[in-house]
């Protein structure tokens, strides 16, 4: 925390100096006596502490080496790095075929989006990633962030669909790959989060009608598998719409995902709300804060930071669950990968494909996980009970 930033401008200079002294220049960090002792000591303590430890270490080390060596032989030593056709790879069956990935990765990342227009999903993906990264900074958490996302979504919409500014129109049926996965998960979660907060608050409401509505929604949505919701959205919903009215399949999937995520997130958030002591509500009431102010300034900020780990857990789960849209024929990252495997010219490189897809998913999920750890630490620095 920068002290100057948070100090009221109106303070007298001597007050300011006192405050800065009291808030404390960062204390000099003194190493604990003894120190950590370097890697050799660490290994002796943690890996070879006793005879039993040593045996386990040696055995596990051997297994790891064996498996690791096998993978290394396959992925590096025996791999085919460049090849014009699949035949070169097939001749070298004991090694990975990275030439295949060089050839097919663009298809997996973009799906069937028209070749000449691929710069558009590229920009959209980069834009979404950039917005996600810049949202990570807590100093950005104000109305500007919301405005940025609104503009970002509008730009993404225009770029993906086209049809204006001389961009050729691209229907959602042709969208595919990483942008689809990103748009589905980010838009659905962004829509679900505020909905989830309202549901969680509603479920704790004193008003029976509101409470029943929220409980009913949550239990209903949570009680059915995501797949059946997706199928209902894609097959059943059109039956109920008046003749001539169609809603895009992609949008229907988005709505289904948002509702599903909202029900799950609502329960996570409710857990946080329940952990806030009654005294916090009473103190806010006693100060004359309205329900809205109390919720917004006192209860939610505390409740949400309590549930960061389960929230991120749910986020990660949903990011991966977007791959279920293959059921209703939407071409996300995983589906694009599967059809790459089936390409007659390059059939049979499933290992490489799934390794690649796993790596892409992992990068996103691991970043989310690391960010949540950072956020928890950062928030706890100031918020010590």
Nearest distance in Å: CB 42, other proteins? 33
- HSE at residue 259, side-chain half, CA atoms within 13 A, is 23
Choice between 54 and 380, CB closer to other proteins:
380
Which residue in the set 61, 301, 317, 329 belongs to the binding site for other proteins (CB under 8 A)?
A: 301
Tell the smallest beta-carbon distance from residue 372 to other proteins (Å): 17
In the complex, the smallest distance separating the C-beta of residue 20 from other proteins, rounded to whole angstroms, is 8
Tell me which stretch binds other proteins (CB under 8 A): 39-47, 76-84, 132-140, 301-309: 301-309
How far apart are alpha carbons 279 and 232 in whole angstroms? 45
CA distance 251 to 255: 6
* In contact, 342 and 383? CB cutoff 8 Å: no
Question: What does each C-alpha distance from 175 to 131, 167, 331 come to in angstroms?
Answer: 21, 15, 7
| C-alpha Rg value of the chain to the nearest Å | 27
Is 384 an interacting residue with respect to other proteins (CB under 8 A)? yes
CB 348 within 8 A of CB 338: no
Query: Using the rule CB under 8 A, is 378 a contact of other proteins?
Result: no
Q: Compute the distance between CA of residue 267 and CA of residue 249 in angstroms, rounded to an integer.
A: 28
Which of 57, 122, 302, 351 is close enough to bind other proteins by CB under 8 A?
A: 302
Our CB check for other proteins shows the closer of 155 and 283 to be 283
Site for other proteins in 6-25 (CB under 8 A): 6-11, 15, 18-19, 21-23
CB 139, min distance to other proteins, A: 16
CA distance 22 to 4: 13
Site string for other proteins, 263-292 (x = CB under 8 A): --------------x-xx-xxxxxxxxx--
Distances (CA, A) of 243 to 117, 247, 252: 33, 12, 17
Distance CA 73, CA 96 (A): 9
Q: With respect to other proteins, which residue has the nearer C-beta, 11 or 247?
A: 11
The CB-of-385 to other proteins minimum distance in angstroms stands at 5
21 or 51, CB closer to other proteins?
21
Q: How far is the CB of 278 from other proteins (least distance, A)?
A: 9
Contact 268, 316 (CB under 8 A): no
End-to-end CA distance of the chain: 18
Of 134 and 380, CB closest to other proteins: 380
Size, binding site for other proteins by CB under 8 A: 35
Residue 120: φ, ψ to 5°? -70, -55
State yes or no: residue 171 binds other proteins (CB under 8 A): no
List residues binding other proteins (CB under 8 A): 3, 6-11, 15, 18-19, 21-23, 277, 279-280, 282-290, 293, 297-298, 301-302, 305, 382-385
């Amino acid at each position: 925390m920068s002290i100057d930033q948070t100090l009221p401008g109106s303070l007298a200079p001597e007050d300011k100096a006192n405050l800065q002294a009291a808030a404390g220049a960062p204390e000099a960090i003194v190493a604990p006596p003894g120190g950590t002792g370097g890697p050799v000591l660490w290994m002796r303590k943690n890996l070879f502490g006793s005879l039993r430890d040593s045996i386990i270490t040696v055995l596990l080390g051997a297994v790891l080496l064996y498996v690791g060596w096998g993978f290394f032989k396959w992925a590096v030593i025996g791999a085919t790095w460049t090849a014009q056709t699949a035949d070169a790879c097939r001749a070298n069956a004991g090694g990975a075929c990275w030439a295949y990935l060089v050839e097919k990765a663009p298809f997996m990342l973009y799906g069937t989006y028209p070749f000449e227009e691929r710069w558009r999903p590229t920009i959209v993906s980069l834009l979404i990633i950039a917005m996600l990264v810049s949202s990570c900074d807590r100093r950005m958490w104000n109305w500007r962030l919301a405005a940025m996302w609104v503009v970002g979504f509008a730009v993404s919409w225009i770029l993906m669909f086209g049809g204006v500014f001389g961009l050729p129109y691209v229907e959602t049926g042709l969208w595919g790959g990483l942008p689809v996965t990103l748009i589905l998960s980010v838009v659905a979660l962004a829509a679900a989060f505020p909905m989830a907060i309202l549901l969680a608050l509603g479920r704790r409401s004193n008003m029976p009608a509101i409470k029943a509505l929220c409980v009913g929604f949550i239990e209903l949505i949570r009680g059915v598998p995501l797949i059946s919701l997706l199928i209902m959205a894609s097959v059943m919903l059109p039956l109920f719409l008046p003749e001539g009215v169609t809603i895009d399949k992609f949008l229907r999937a988005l709505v289904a995902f948002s509702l599903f995520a909202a029900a799950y997130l609502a329960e996570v958030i409710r857990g946080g709300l329940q952990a806030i002591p009654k005294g916090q509500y009473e103190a806010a009431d006693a100060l004359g804060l309205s329900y809205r102010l109390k919720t917004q300034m006192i209860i939610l900020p505390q409740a949400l930071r309590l549930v960061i780990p389960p929230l991120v857990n749910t986020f990660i789960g949903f990011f991966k669950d977007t791959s279920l849209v293959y059921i209703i024929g939407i071409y996300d990252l995983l589906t694009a990968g599967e059809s790459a495997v089936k390409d007659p010219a390059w059939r049979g490189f499933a290992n490489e494909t799934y390794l690649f897809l796993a790596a892409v998913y992992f990068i996103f999920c691991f970043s989310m996980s690391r960010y949540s750890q950072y956020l928890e630490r950062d928030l706890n620095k100031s918020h010590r009970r």
